[in-house]
Amino acid sequence: MRLKHFSISFGEQILKALADESRIRILNLILRNKEMCTSDLEQVLDFTQTKTSRHLAYLRNASLVTSRKLDQWVFYSVKDEGADLVNQIFTYLERDSQLQKDLETYDILFSNRELAVNKLETRRWIAP
The answer to whether residue 101 is domain-embedded is yes
Mean of per-residue pLDDT scores for the chain: 84
The answer to whether residue 3 is domain-embedded is no
Cβ–Cβ < 8 Å for 84, 2 = yes
pLDDT of residue 127 exceeding 70, the answer is no
pLDDT of residue 1: 42
The answer to whether residue 44 is domain-embedded is yes
Q: Which residues contact 82 (CB under 8 A, 6 or more apart)?
A: 3, 14, 63, 64
The model's pTM? 0.81
| Residue 14's CATH number | 1.10.10.10
Number of structural domains (the chain) is: 1
pLDDT in tens, 25-55: 999 999 999 999 998 999 899 999 999 999 9
Domain span including residue 113: 8-125
d(CA 112, CA 115): 5
d(CA 104, CA 86): 21
